[in-house]
Amino acid sequence: MLVENTARFNDIQIMSVVNNFRFIPLKVLSEILIDQGIYSSYQAVSRAVIRIRKKGFIRTTYYANNAKIIFLSKKGAKALAIGIGVSVESINCPERLTGVNFFALEHTVKVAQLYRLFIRECRKHNLNLTKFTGDFSSRYEYQFRATSGKMIKRFIMPDAEIEIGNNDQRVKLWIEYDRGTESSKDVAVKYMKYLEYFNENEEEIEKLPIIIFITESTKQRLNNLVVKDDNFNGEWDWYNTNKSYKNAVLKGVAMADNIRNMRSSLIEKYLQPNQFLFTDYDSFKQSGFRNELLNLNAERIQLIDILIQDSK
């Protein structure tokens, strides 16, 4: 019985990947484990998953098209925490928190499926996917004193953090996955927080990663969020905060609580056109890195061009 309740080295490796995504399809888990050299085949991963499930370390459910979805049990969360030397509270355990929330499940599964897409595209273009951190795994806190004198504490949570290598260079990406249910103001708040975070951490980060907004909704939603706004000509001063913007990024910048305490040069550095890219999920899935994304100025650009250019 002791053996059955003890997590092996491979058990810990598997549960670490599951924890990274919270909910993960078996196919995606298999691809990651094979890519990492932990297992050599899908069949071997399936056998390992069955074994770990019998131990009670993981639970499974089913999603669209009968895809098997894996997540950690309370027992698995405790075993993983011990195995990697962290607190159990830091482990993504849906069973411990709220059970299977199918809204969260859909969101996280889509992000996990993006991993497969990025793996496919990196291999196609001879690039290396050196990092992919999944949904609800990244959280960056920041705080600042607003013009009112009040201390404000906030955080940002990219839906995925990605690092792609080309030779010895690395390009960092953050993904914002959108189900198409948020208002334009809610979307703008994301970019407000990114600016505030960048302003408070300028000394530590040369620039933010490229932020890619991927929506499940129609291309019309993108056209509503990303427009060439004549109210901004590339230069920023305090008067810009009084203007009304349709562009979600510019709207977010104008909403920042400490906007008038920020240097214009920093905001202009933040508002580089190709810093922000927008696309719909189906187009990105179909065309990959050759898909034409919209940038801040509603210009069309292929992601592969940015990946190669930024890694030179």
Is residue 115 included in any domain, yes or no? no
Mark whether 23 and 163 lie in a shared domain.
no
Is residue 108 included in any domain, yes or no? no
The Cβ of residue 59 has, within 10 Å, a number of other Cβ atoms equal to: 20
Is residue 120 included in any domain, yes or no? no
Which residues 6+ apart lie within 8 Å of 267 measured at CB?
195, 236, 253, 259
Is residue 109 included in any domain, yes or no? no
Burial of 304 (0-12, 13-18, 19+ CB in 10 A): middle
Mark whether 37 and 182 lie in a shared domain.
no
Q: Please, what is the angle between helix 26-35 and helix 102-124, to 10°?
A: 40
The Cβ of residue 267 has, within 10 Å, a number of other Cβ atoms equal to: 19
**37, 33, 61, 36: which is closest to 45 by C-alpha?**
33
pLDDT tens-digit map of 250-305: 999 999 988 888 999 999 999 999 999 999 999 999 999 999 999 999 999 999 99
Mark whether 188 and 302 lie in a shared domain.
yes
Mark whether 273 and 187 lie in a shared domain.
yes
Is residue 222 included in any domain, yes or no? yes
C-alpha 94/C-alpha 57 separation (Å) is 13
Mark whether 301 and 183 lie in a shared domain.
yes
**88, 68, 65, 67: which is closest to 19 by C-alpha?**
88
Mark whether 168 and 37 lie in a shared domain.
no
Residue type, 47: R
Q: Are 312 and 169 in contact (CB under 8 A)?
A: yes
Length of the chain, please?
A: 312
Spell out, as residue ranges, where the chain has pLDDT lower than 50: 1-3
Is residue 117 included in any domain, yes or no? no
C-alpha 146/C-alpha 209 separation (Å) is 25
CA distances from 174 to 1, 177, 264, 290 (A): 44, 10, 24, 18
Q: What is the pLDDT of residue 3?
A: 42
Task: Out of 69, 99, 129, pick the residue that ends a domain.
Answer: 99
CA distances from 138 to 23, 40, 151, 295 (A): 15, 29, 23, 24
Q: Give CA 56 to chain center in angstroms.
A: 29
Which run of H or of E encompasses 51?
helix 42-55
Fill in the DSSP letter of residue 276. E
Mark whether 170 and 271 lie in a shared domain.
yes
C-alpha 75/C-alpha 54 separation (Å) is 12
Radius of gyration of the chain (CA): 21
Q: Tell me the pairing of strands 68-72 and 128-133.
A: unpaired
Q: Are 86 and 44 in contact (CB under 8 A)?
A: no
Is residue 226 included in any domain, yes or no? yes
Mark whether 149 and 289 lie in a shared domain.
yes
Mark whether 55 and 196 lie in a shared domain.
no
Mark whether 18 and 142 lie in a shared domain.
no
- 152 lies in which domain range? 138-310
C-alpha 34/C-alpha 138 separation (Å) is 24
Backbone angles phi, psi at 34, to 5 degrees: -70, -40
Is residue 114 included in any domain, yes or no? no
Q: What is the pLDDT of residue 296?
A: 93
Mark whether 167 and 238 lie in a shared domain.
yes
CATH code assigned at 89 = 1.10.10.10
> In total, how many domains does the chain have?
2
Task: Out of 49, 71, 99, pick the residue that ends a domain.
Answer: 99
Indicate if the alpha-carbon torsion angle 49, 53, 58, 60 is positive or negative.
positive
Mark whether 194 and 241 lie in a shared domain.
yes
